[in-house]
Amino acid sequence: MNPTTTTTRPTVLILGAAGRFGGAATAAFARAGWRVLAQARKPLTALPLGAEALLMPLDDLPALARAAAGTSVVVHALNPVYTRWGTDLLPLAETGMDLAQRLGARFMLPGNVYNFGADMPPLLTEATPPTATTRKGKWRCELEARMQARASQGLRSVVIRAGDFFGSGEGSWLDLAIAKDIAKGKLVYPGPLDRPHAWAYLPDLAQAFMAVASLPSVPGCQHFHFAGHNLTGAELLAAIERVARPLGLLPAGSVKRGGIPWGLMRWLGWAVPIWRELVEMAYLWEVPHALDGHALQTAVGPLPATPLDEALRRSLLAMGATSLAAATPPHPVIPAQAGIHQQHKQPGFPPARE
């Protein structure tokens, strides 16, 4: 359903529009001319032209379905806080799929690499078998298996798998740990500096969702991998330094580098649940991994890929450097996402290790 070729604007429902991906998806679909219904459970402070807030809880499905009548795509941008994945992840997904089925809409999920365990190959394609070795990974596999199973009930769905998010307000590894103390001349990296790691610049990932949503829907559950940026820690820290200096974000002198005290966090995980949850996924900083984006490119053609330095410049600016922010932000950062985000509402997001 391509808004540029149809007389009526197609409608997309973004569940969890107050979140990082939810906010970026709201912006991408609105910019592309879709009618965007932005569902949230708290007031959204700013929305792009073409988007309407749908401030409704998720537990009244008939009311939500009435309010979202005519929707052709449901984007499931909901994400329980890490420590509630065991209780909330699957029920929230069931709610999203129920709603999509009621609306006769396609269900789209941002997948992640948790489905692949510590034995994963360095390049992940859509054909790579999921070998989750963690609880959270197994829940993600179960979620996608349920999407697949619902194909027999007529649900059409898509998983677009991506690496770690950055570049849409607060709440990513970039602002919560890696560049948290940039103003003090310090950068942190959670693992060895020579392992390729998958990253997804959110405005670009949101564009990919919009591009796939604009394709005719097909029966069943489709999978696509979003390549994004793939970097070693050394490459990322060097790029941050390269971008930050001219922006005046780094004090003069050499940059100090630190790590994450995984040992301390593992030891105290029983007392600090968010540490326990983060430690479970620490292997992702040790095991080299990249997402193969060829199938996605074949399906939708070339996608906008913001160069790394530009993506970091916008992300570092969005993290609070104001001087140049007013200059030329090509993608409007929706303040809604600038609000406090979930994971780091939890006390004790990883401290940096000297």
Ligand X SMILES: NC(=O)c1ccc[n+]([C@@H]2O[C@H](COP(=O)([O-])OP(=O)(O)OC[C@H]3O[C@@H](n4cnc5c(N)ncnc54)[C@H](OP(=O)(O)O)[C@@H]3O)[C@@H](O)[C@H]2O)c1
- Applying the rule CB under 6 A, the residues between 46 and 65 that interact with ligand X are 58
Which C-beta is closer to ligand X: that of 258 or that of 339? Answer: 339
Residue 253 C-beta: closest distance to ligand X, Å = 32
What b-and-e string marks burial along 257-295, b requiring 16 or more CB atoms within 10 Å of the CB? bbbbbbeebeeebeebbbbbbbbbbbbbbebbbbbbbee
Q: Residue 42, interface with ligand X (CB under 6 A)?
A: yes
Residue 59 C-beta: closest distance to ligand X, Å = 8
Residue 22 C-beta: closest distance to ligand X, Å = 6
Q: Residue 157, interface with ligand X (CB under 6 A)?
A: no
Q: Residue 167, interface with ligand X (CB under 6 A)?
A: no
Q: How many CA atoms lie within 13 A of 34 on its CB side?
A: 29
Token code pair at residue 201: 């610049």
Q: Residue 78, interface with ligand X (CB under 6 A)?
A: yes
Residue from 51, 64, 164, 265 that binds ligand X (CB under 6 A)? 164
Which C-beta is closer to ligand X: that of 88 or that of 241? Answer: 88
Which C-beta is closer to ligand X: that of 3 or that of 225? Answer: 225
Three-state secondary structure call for residue 249: coil
- Give the separation between CA 55 and CA 65, rounded to whole angstroms: 13
Three-state secondary structure call for residue 98: helix
Residue 257 C-beta: closest distance to ligand X, Å = 22
CB atoms within 10 A of CB 98: 17
Q: Residue 22, interface with ligand X (CB under 6 A)?
A: yes
Residue 7 C-beta: closest distance to ligand X, Å = 32
- Give the separation between CA 180 and CA 186, rounded to whole angstroms: 8
What b-and-e string marks burial along 35-68, b requiring 16 or more CB atoms within 10 Å of the CB? bbbbbbeeebeebbebbebbeeebeeeeebbebb
x/- string (CB under 6 A) for ligand X, residues 83-122? -----x---x-----------------x-x----------
Contact segment (CB under 6 A) with ligand X among 73-81, 117-125, 231-239, 283-291 equals 73-81
- Give the separation between CA 10 and CA 36, rounded to whole angstroms: 9
Q: Residue 231, interface with ligand X (CB under 6 A)?
A: no
Q: Residue 217, interface with ligand X (CB under 6 A)?
A: no
The closest residue (CB) to ligand X is 19
**Please, are residues 174 and 319 in contact by the beta-carbon 8 Å criterion?**
yes
Side chain identity at residue 188, one-letter code: V
**Please, are residues 71 and 10 in contact by the beta-carbon 8 Å criterion?**
no
Residue from 162, 210, 250, 284 that binds ligand X (CB under 6 A)? 162
Contact segment (CB under 6 A) with ligand X among 97-105, 162-170, 233-241, 325-333 equals 162-170
**Please, are residues 113 and 292 in contact by the beta-carbon 8 Å criterion?**
no
Residue 63 C-beta: closest distance to ligand X, Å = 14
Q: What are phi and psi of 13, to 5 degrees?
A: -110, 120
Which C-beta is closer to ligand X: that of 20 or that of 106? Answer: 20
- Applying the rule CB under 6 A, the residues between 293 and 352 that interact with ligand X are 341-342
DSSP 62-85: HHHHHHTTTEEEEEE-----GGGI
Which C-beta is closer to ligand X: that of 72 or that of 112? Answer: 112
Q: Which residues contact 337 (CB under 8 A, 6 or more apart)?
A: 18, 19, 20, 23, 24, 168, 169, 170
Which C-beta is closer to ligand X: that of 171 or that of 191? Answer: 171
User: Interface with ligand X by CB under 6 A: which residues?
Assistant: 16, 18-22, 41-42, 58, 77-80, 88, 92, 110, 112, 162, 164-165, 171, 341-342
